[in-house]
Chain A
Amino acid sequence: MNMTAALSVTAAIAAIVICTDATATAQRTFVASYGSDANACSRALPCRSFGAAITQTSPNGEIIVIDSAGYGSVTVTKSVSIIAPAGIYAGISVGGGANGVTVNSAGVHVRLRGLAINGTSGSSGSGVEVVQAASVGIEDCTITNLGQYGIESDAATDVTVERTTVHGNQAGGIVQMGAGRLTVTGSRITGNANTGVQAYAGKVTIVHSLIAANAVHGVEVDGTSGSVWLAISASTVTGHSGGSGIGVAATSPAYADIANNTIAGSGNGIVVGGSKADIAGNQVVYNVLRGVYAVGAGALARVTGNGVFGNATGFDPVGGATVNTPGDNYVRDNGTNATGSTPDSLL
């Protein structure tokens, strides 16, 4: 191949690449502090904001953050991952009614990794609002100081929250409005001005997480919008002096599996209202009112293998509710250890 031919081939390839970039989207795009939204969002010519990058990204593609900066709020209407690696601060500052990230398209799969979403003064939006989607993963994010919720899921979406901090949000930490499936692992839901994790319907799983010092409840599932299930294990729920550590209330059928947690320093430790809960292997300590409070006809708490200490009342069933125990709980040093419980057998 002579040099002229080589050059013309190179030019032809360059022309193809340029045409392709101008008209099509890329599987992987980039943003950087020194980028420009007039660029193609390539590695060499990154964009400056998530909003511009997402329009240049193919469905199922990725937006990668190259260096630390703010990248602006974004509305996501296609399957995409927005990824800031560890060691990079990728901020989204939001004021007024804006959300940090809005996901709004039926059937899409979205992943957010490593973002710091912060509400500025006057914020009245949420950190991440999922209006509709098939699934949304939120990993290694920090979501703070929003005027609304940290994470708000409006429909029947599968939302996974992993290694994420949700702190200081006004309407609450995480809320699930519809019959979705929420999974929270290794996360911290703290200091929100309402309830830490609230589900009005659907299925909730919480593992290895810290839920602390939220202004109302730590975790509440209440079935306002349909049947609701909670499985929480290996977590610490503490310091909800304005409400309950874990509340299970039944507008619709509600079921809870509460195992191997520490539940401390709240008004009530665990409240079971008109629903069914098995409560196993927990430490339920130093709650101002009751350790386990079962309220109303049909409320059934099966308690086994728990340590219940230093509460005003250990087990307290009222209004036709039942606390059943196979006799293996250690309930001591409460003001009143139990106002009533029903012996149960093992198989």
Chain B
Amino acid sequence: MSRVLIALALAYALGDGAFAAQRTFVASTGDDAHACSLAAPCRGFAAAILKTDPAGEVIVLDSAGYGAAVITRSVSIIAPPGVYAGISVFVGSGITINGSGIDIVLRGLAINGVGGTEGIEFQTGATLMIERCVVSNFTNNGLRLDSGGAVSVADSAFVSNGGDGISVSAPSLTVQIERTRMEANTANGMRIQAAANVTVVDSVIARNGGGGINIFLGGALTAKLAIDRSTFVDNAFTAVIANAGSSAGAIARLDVTRSTIARNGAGILALASAGATAQVSATNNEVTDNTGNGIAANGGGASVRASGNKVMRNTGGLVQQSSGVVYTPTTNYVRDNTTNDGGHTTDARI
């Protein structure tokens, strides 16, 4: 037995190149002592990743749970449609990505917290692509982005987590999100607290205990958020906020278009003290039945350019507060709010 151990240790010390493969496999019938080949698959992701060449692939062969993993090299973990690949997380994070310059693909995973803290944690890396994944029931965030880089998310759901659905806290980060649900998280659907560029398209952000998607800057950073064709409903607080805070030079830019924003705590808000800048454009949105104001700018650094919006049955329709400015080229339909015109500044059309 000890001879086997020595042999294993030697093989390990010589580097994975000795037996790592470009493509490895996991299966319910596998064994982590295997080479993770198609004929002799492994049982868990953690073992398979160690036997996979950098930039290689781990393929799930059949439905089972495959365990949490820490990823320190470029890899794609792929469960094809037709296979349920679960990760139940009892403690810590489901997938932790921690390798300088690495590229990660996660496709078709169901990552579920049963005491776990974070669903997917991007600690260090270059790119992260998440497709067809469901991340639910973590005590903290569904997806936590602590590293700069480029992240894309498609056809996924971040549901019932104790913190934010998606938490963006790293600078120099680009995030694109398509056809994704952020639902029933205890805090926000998504929170951006760093100098990131974020795009959200065709997504549903519903029933979060905090707000929908917000930028919340605590220093002199620049964050940009573009939202198109998305639906924000029944979030307890404001659906969309660009909050630049009070640091001189902080810039929060938000462009929200063709979206339905209904029955939230409030609709669209630009928030910045003088010296900071919250700059919002709101075009062709439905902003209805929100408990607070529909479209508002609050503070000396806050402005909204509002055109083509339908703003109805909110408390205030268009609202200027504390030197904030809501510009309108007179193309918004603002009716049936408790106060339709809570202040606006007429702007020219060309």
Neighbour of A259 across the interface among B28, B204, B310, CB < 8 A: B310
CB-defined contacts of B333 to chain A, threshold 8 Å: 278, 280, 302, 304, 326, 344, 346-347
CB-defined contacts of A344 to chain B, threshold 8 Å: 333, 335
Nearest A residue to B62, CB-CB: A66
Is the pair B234, A181 in contact by a Cβ cutoff of 8 Å? Answer: yes
Is A266 part of the binding interface, using a Cβ–Cβ cutoff of 8 Å? no
A85-B81, A85-B84, A229-B263 known; A257 vs B289 contact (CB < 8 Å): yes
Is the pair A300, B334 in contact by a Cβ cutoff of 8 Å? Answer: no
CB-defined contacts of B336 to chain A, threshold 8 Å: 276, 278, 300, 302
Q: How many A-B residue pairs have CB under 8 A?
A: 146
CB-defined contacts of A257 to chain B, threshold 8 Å: 260, 262, 286, 288-289, 310, 312
Stretch of B16-24, B95-103, B170-178, B324-332 contacting A (4+ beta carbons < 8 Å): B324-332
Is the pair A203, B288 in contact by a Cβ cutoff of 8 Å? Answer: no
CB-defined contacts of B112 to chain A, threshold 8 Å: 60, 62, 81
As a 0/1 sequence over residues 165 to 206 of chain A, the CB contacts with chain B under 8 angstroms (1 = contact) are 000000000000000010101000000000000000001010
Is A112 part of the binding interface, using a Cβ–Cβ cutoff of 8 Å? no
Is the pair A28, B88 in contact by a Cβ cutoff of 8 Å? Answer: yes
Is B164 part of the binding interface, using a Cβ–Cβ cutoff of 8 Å? no
Q: Which residues of A306-347 are within 8 A (CB) of B? A: 324, 326, 344, 346-347
Neighbour of A231 across the interface among B183, B202, B263, CB < 8 A: B263
A205-B231, A205-B262 known; A304 vs B310 contact (CB < 8 Å): yes
Is the pair B114, A324 in contact by a Cβ cutoff of 8 Å? Answer: no
Is the pair B289, A60 in contact by a Cβ cutoff of 8 Å? Answer: no
Q: In the complex, which range does the number of interface residues on chain A fall in? A: 35 or more
Neighbour of B286 across the interface among A88, A203, A259, CB < 8 A: A259
Is B318 part of the binding interface, using a Cβ–Cβ cutoff of 8 Å? yes
Is the pair B262, A87 in contact by a Cβ cutoff of 8 Å? Answer: no
Q: List 6 A-B contacts (CB under 8 A).
A: A30-B63, A62-B112, A158-B184, A231-B263, A257-B286, A276-B336
Q: Which residues of B contact A (CB under 8 A)?
A: 1, 28, 62-65, 81-84, 86, 88, 110, 112, 114, 137, 159-160, 181, 183-184, 202, 204, 206-207, 229, 231, 233-234, 258, 260, 262-263, 284, 286, 288-289, 308, 310, 312-313, 317-318, 328, 330-336, 340-341, 344
